[in-house]
Structure 1
């Protein structure tokens, strides 16, 4: 066999062997890629994403798209070839598996957590939008979860309204822990609550719940290393009563990152005129009840997904600006926002053509 032919054969066999090895060798990485993007002003699966009743709404146009990221499942085992391809590809990102699924989190656990975050983001989006419009929203502190086998199990229930702890009025969820930890483990703490069933009945009848009761719970020591805190085994949260109905209809989406775009969609539908001026605007960002916009993961994939759908502008949380600006898709303008008020003002500039005034993102 000629030397040249033998060399080519050996090289080919070596390449095949390397490819086979690459397919068989699994690496501890996962992949992120652009996911679906949905116009919060439009429809999804045949029904409006935002449905408002009990209050006047106005026609809208243009796009206020929320964006998503696709990720490989928790039990997916990526091989070396896939990892190398992902590292080289422009429209995907390979990250350590533990980044997406920390502490051995299962697919089911991750899905449940994402669903809870998505639900909370919807509530916060409603509150933020209505506050921006100076529409009153009633809020109160509730028992969010009760830990199994904790002192509070069977004594307090999810949805109970916490009016006071040891006679001190509770105004914020953080007040509960502060008041409980004033005790030493083993001491009693008294919760004044409106039971969840009474609160639900009052809301249904559009009246103020007044039937309270005191519940005494004996604290126990926390499992923290070091000094032990007194705990009862609950987490506190916030619930709201809205003056009219706002429903967000969007299935198969999880996580908190659509909060900003939901809030802007609600704001647009409740105000006359077009917030976008017919432009295609996409974006991302968590939002809290006070309208503060927080950072999210996978912003680089979201900008790619938004531009692929035709977005011209992308509302970007300030803390994600540096990452997003490193590789901005051609034709997409990144707009830095810290609050819903920032976003509304930016959209006013976009609508009016004052794009030179937009706060921009810069790579570091």
Structure 2
């Protein structure tokens, strides 16, 4: 008997049901895919919009244009005549945004008037509160120094009181970090008096790595009040073993950033109220404005000018940060002329693009002479004070002297 494997005829009803099921499964898998893509896009957008910029870059702080504020309006003088000027000398500011998102970071990266910067550059290893205290100290010092410079230009011959080296930053992991604090006023090293920051630098750099030095300093609960120490200060002496300087082989390294407190005994009271603006970069604006307010006539020739730059007790103008942002702030405020230090001259020109005059200054006298070119009466003021021969500061071109001059800045501009 022949046998055959049974062959079943297909059941049309069952086939249709199975096919229907297969189609439904196939359709469902494709309907989930767009939903998944949509959810991923939403998640990415939420991350970009709300996640902190520190997730993608260490440069998570954003510097933006601040404002250009009339300095004369902030100056209060008691004890001598004042002459409110018609022109304006503005100090410029930068806005610092610390809490930033990836979206804000991305937009700032494409904006030439904004700058991305690492928190370590602004705060170092300090807390935000400590940074604000230090920059307030620097603001107070710039005001005191500005009064000194302006009045000495008028012939008062005020000799500033300087005493010690004020600690404004401790280098992470340095020998100083183990023994010193922000706000300590260093007054002695190995029995030798420290009167200013230069003294401390010279005494430390004479030593070698591994040398022990005795550091005497004053510590006060209110050290950031303006002078570095007060009647509540107590004296301390610590023995510190120096490390090797990170850039100079065989040279001792303490690991502090310091400033010299300056106190000027001026013959009348000068107060500058700039609210919550902090830092030293308005020094040049303060000194020029004090001179403008206490003398008759127009130091600016009636123009609206702005400046940025620190000022020291000798009238030298020092570099500052945030100049692209300050330049844009000045332009937006309708400033006619912007005075900047050599280090920031080219950056200011690149932002200004001929929308505003930019001039380079190295000293207070440079600023007076440039303003005279625009119609200011600074030369007349100097002659009345007995100084009849104002000259621009020397501007040597020497790449090895460590000093960047306006002449070198002009060379860099012309490239």
Normalising by structure 1, we get a TM-score of 0.70
The aligned residue for residue 127 of structure 1 is 148
The aligned residue for residue 107 of structure 1 is 128
Shift of 1:316: 1.3
The aligned residue for residue 254 of structure 1 is 278
Rate the CA distance shift 1:135–1:230 in 2: closer, same or farther, 3 A: same
Question: How far apart, in 2, do the equivalents of 1:140 and 1:100 lie?
Answer: 30
Equivalent pairs, count: 313
The aligned residue for residue 242 of structure 2 is 222
Higher mean displacement: 129-138 or 318-327: 129-138
Question: How far apart, in 2, do the equivalents of 1:138 and 1:304 lie?
Answer: 37
The aligned residue for residue 269 of structure 1 is 293
Shift of 1:136: 1.4
Contact 1:140 1:240 in 2 (8 A): yes
Rate the CA distance shift 1:218–1:234 in 2: closer, same or farther, 3 A: farther
Match of 1:239 among 249, 259, 262: 262
Higher mean displacement: 177-186 or 56-65: 177-186
Cα deviation code 1:32-60 (max 9, x no counterpart): 11113211112xxxxxx112223343342
The aligned residue for residue 32 of structure 1 is 63
- In the alignment, structure 1 segments of 5+ residues that lack a partner are 1-5, 43-48, 194-214
Contact 1:188 1:216 in 2 (8 A): no
3-state SS of paired residue (2:352): coil
Shift of 1:325: 1.1
Question: How far apart, in 2, do the equivalents of 1:23 and 1:321 lie?
Answer: 36
Shift of 1:86: 1.7
Match of 1:78 among 98, 101, 124: 101
The aligned residue for residue 386 of structure 2 is none
Rate the CA distance shift 1:217–1:113 in 2: closer, same or farther, 3 A: closer
Question: How far apart, in 2, do the equivalents of 1:17 and 1:273 lie?
Answer: 63
More strand by share: 1
The aligned residue for residue 53 of structure 1 is 78
Normalising by structure 2, we get a TM-score of 0.62
Q: 1:174-185 to 2 correspondence within 5 Å? A: 174-175=198-199, 178=202
Shift of 1:343: 0.6
Aligned CA-pair RMSD: 4.3
Match of 1:89 among 101, 105, 111: 111
Question: How far apart, in 1, do the equivalents of 2:64 and 2:372 lie?
Answer: 31
Shift of 1:100: 4.0
The aligned residue for residue 334 of structure 1 is 358
The aligned residue for residue 211 of structure 1 is none
Identify which of structures 1 and 2 has the higher relative contact order when contacts are C-alpha pairs closer than 8 Å and 6+ apart.
1
Match of 2:49 among 1, 14, 23: 23
Contact 1:126 1:246 in 2 (8 A): yes
1:142 aligns with 2:163: yes
3-state SS of paired residue (2:375): helix
Cα deviation code 1:37-95 (max 9, x no counterpart): 211112xxxxxx1122233433422110000000112xx1421x2222222335x4141
Question: How far apart, in 2, do the equivalents of 1:95 and 1:139 lie?
Answer: 38
Question: How far apart, in 2, do the equivalents of 1:30 and 1:326 lie?
Answer: 22
- In the alignment, structure 2 segments of 5+ residues that lack a partner are 1-30, 168-175, 219-234, 378-391, 393-405
3-state SS of paired residue (1:138): coil
Contact 1:313 1:334 in 2 (8 A): yes
Rate the CA distance shift 1:85–1:149 in 2: closer, same or farther, 3 A: closer
Shift of 1:23: 2.4
Rate the CA distance shift 1:287–1:20 in 2: closer, same or farther, 3 A: same
Question: How far apart, in 2, do the equivalents of 1:31 and 1:238 lie?
Answer: 30
The aligned residue for residue 202 of structure 1 is none
Q: 1:145-164 to 2 correspondence within 5 Å? A: 145=166
The aligned residue for residue 46 of structure 1 is none
Cα deviation code 1:82-135 (max 9, x no counterpart): 222222335x41413346435454321221221122122112212222222222
